A and B are shown apart, each in its own frame.
Chain A
Amino acid sequence: MEISIHKTNHKEKDFKRDVMDEIQENTQTRRSFIQKLYSDPVAWGATFWIVLMIGTAVFAPFLTPYSPVSGNIGNRLMPIGTPGHFLGTDEQGRDMITRILFGGRMTLLMGIVPVAAACLVGGALGVIAGYFGKAVQSIIMRCLDVFYAFPALVLAIAISAALGPGVRNTFVSLPIVFIAPIARVTATAVQQIKGLEFFEAARVSGASHWMIIRFHLIRNIFRPVFAYVSTLIGISILVASSLSFLGLGVTPPTAEWGAMLRSLQDALYTQPTVAIAPGVMIFLTALAFNLLSDSIQDALDVRS
């Protein structure tokens, strides 16, 4: 999860070429992007897992007869393979499968929502910074540099600690972490486009700023920014679950994979397989998002 921002540095260099591709072969690339993705078995596998997770999260209440929050204390810490509790039960006697299904809801939300929110804010800041010239850019970028000065996890922990535990505060602290890198990537992409002919033409033709941004800019920076943002979802899942694991994110009894790892910590030595199960889910889901993002980048040919 620490790598996120670092990746950017490499990405940035590729934007110029990427944007060029974008403009020159706009329609062609779009088709080949989807074709490439379509023919990539890894992308298929990852997508399958993500769709499965989203599906089970949405339909969780129909998939299990048990409650995710209350259990039978007499059945606590049953091993994996117990009849009726295939993945065993947790320290409160709750069915692990049920907890994992419901926990997936939280985990997916915390992977996608903060990134989407940061995308709106960071994207807007990036467009403004890149579009309105050097002075604006350096003001915005200098401010964002401050957030850049901390490893993502440290920043998330510090903000969460300041705001206090709870889901709502996690949805505040995580976007803040991602705003700065998204803004930087967006600004770089905008700058690359600004130098191009068609863009100059649009300006000379007297189109308003808003029109230019709306019709020429956003369309053309969408893909490189999207490629970068897709790398953040896996990271967001990891950071969010780390916060819950530290007791700074989701609070009991809400099921969430990181929070489950926290409360099962005491059972680590007596029912290790049950206790590490939520971690497997975090790993597989983050991996699926990262594989898919990798395939997207390959398909977009963003990678060096």
Chain B
Amino acid sequence: MTRLFHRFLQAIPTLFGITLVAFALVHIMPGSPIDALVPPDASADVRAQVIHIYGLDKPLPVQYVLWLTHAVRGDFGMSIGMRVPVNQLLAQAIQNTLILGVAAAFFSFVTGTVLGVLAGLNQGKWIDRMVSTLGLAGVSIPAYWLAMVMVILFSIQLGWLPSSGMHSQGQEGNVLDLLAHVVIPAIALGFTPVGVISRMVRTSLLQVVKQDFVLALRAKGLMRRQILWHLLRNAALPVLTVTGLELGYLLGGSILVETIFAWPGLGGLLNSAIGLRDIPVIQAGILLIGTLFVLMNIVVDFVNSAVDPRIQRT
């Protein structure tokens, strides 16, 4: 526990740095934030008034401190583009991104495990090579392109699945409908980590195979299927950890996939906010992604070391 606490303490300077990056980026952006706030033909006093309301008349360091103190309290202000509290937008967006992320992680976990087991059981044979090439293909394929190809195929040509959005009209609560919408984006997004996961499964499997207890099981004359089950149970934790870690990386890939599918998540929100120079949203979005990413890393690290004490030494 102290170790986890220690890791959190270590992360504090990083989190602080993230806030600096989030704040600095939007101030490097071309175009004054004021132009996004007030129409340029507004009278001088209106302009001054709005500038004051947003605190833009203060020096940058003061603005940063003000923004930070609000952010720490979870107050990110109002979206300029949408005139609703940023919190409300982010809360909704992160929820939708998580739905997509979990679906994608599920896809890559299942596919990666199956492929990894196949490869591990056929070490050195052609299946093994195919799987490793497929894994590399996953990292080499542009997710947005895969998404486009799948839309043409499955939505337009075959008409099996919807082409965009998160739910059909009037089907907001329908889980099946949501599933139909999530299939293509989740596969497009989840294809990338398949390679990493299958490689991980294969490695863990091979490591476990070498261990004595497998030989013992074999000696006991257990069926192949039963042995496999034991193998999987022993290889499961590291694989789950990797999948968890990949969830963080899916967060990054989502920005493109969400844009293509009009999926109302964090990536899409950030992308449109960048287009609109919606500063409060950009800042909060970058901060949120960075923080989630760091926390996810800590948790994965912790789980890793809890599972495998050897990791602590390195």
A2 and B252 form a contact (CB under 8 A)? yes
* A287/B255 contact (C-beta < 8 A), A6-B249, A149-B294, A151-B293 known: no
Cα distance A283–B139 in the bound complex, in angstroms: 9
* A242/B256 contact (C-beta < 8 A), A12-B314, A268-B148, A283-B141 known: yes
B139 and A291 form a contact (CB under 8 A)? no
A153 and B255 form a contact (CB under 8 A)? yes
Is A97's CB within 8 Å of the partner chain B?
Answer: no
Is B144's CB within 8 Å of the partner chain A?
Answer: yes
A2 and B193 form a contact (CB under 8 A)? yes
Residues in A whose Cβ lies below 8 Å from that of B28: 162-163
Main secondary structure of the interface of A (DSSP, over half): helix
A145 and B14 form a contact (CB under 8 A)? yes
Residues in B whose Cβ lies below 8 Å from that of A91: none
| Partner-contacting stretch, out of B15-23, B76-84, B180-188, B221-229 | B15-23
Is A205's CB within 8 Å of the partner chain B?
Answer: no
Is A290's CB within 8 Å of the partner chain B?
Answer: yes
Cα distance A156–B294 in the bound complex, in angstroms: 17
Cα distance A132–B271 in the bound complex, in angstroms: 41
Chain B residues numbered 217-269 whose CB sits less than 8 Å from any CB in chain A: 245-246, 248-253, 255-256, 259
A14 CB to closest chain B CB (Å) equals 10
B192 and A272 form a contact (CB under 8 A)? no
* A242/B142 contact (C-beta < 8 A), A13-B314, A145-B17, A149-B294 known: yes
* A290/B139 contact (C-beta < 8 A), A246-B271, A261-B145 known: yes
* A238/B289 contact (C-beta < 8 A), A153-B256, A164-B30, A287-B136 known: no
Partner of A238, one of B137, B142, B255, B294: B142
Is B211's CB within 8 Å of the partner chain A?
Answer: no
A238 CB to closest chain B CB (Å) equals 6
Residues in A whose Cβ lies below 8 Å from that of B289: 150-151, 154
New contact pairs (16) apart from A149-B290, A151-B253, A268-B152, CB-CB < 8 Å: A1-B253, A2-B192, A3-B192, A12-B314, A13-B314, A145-B14, A149-B17, A150-B252, A162-B25, A238-B140, A246-B256, A282-B142, A283-B145, A286-B140, A287-B136, A294-B136
Cα distance A164–B274 in the bound complex, in angstroms: 10
Is B196's CB within 8 Å of the partner chain A?
Answer: yes
Residues in B whose Cβ lies below 8 Å from that of A286: 139-142
Chain B residues numbered 270-314 whose CB sits less than 8 Å from any CB in chain A: 270-271, 274, 282, 286, 289-291, 293-294, 314
Partner of B136, one of A142, A150, A290: A290
* A3/B193 contact (C-beta < 8 A), A157-B274, A272-B152 known: yes
Residues in B whose Cβ lies below 8 Å from that of A3: 139, 192-193, 195-196, 246, 249
Is A158's CB within 8 Å of the partner chain B?
Answer: yes
* A146/B20 contact (C-beta < 8 A), A1-B139, A286-B140, A287-B137 known: yes
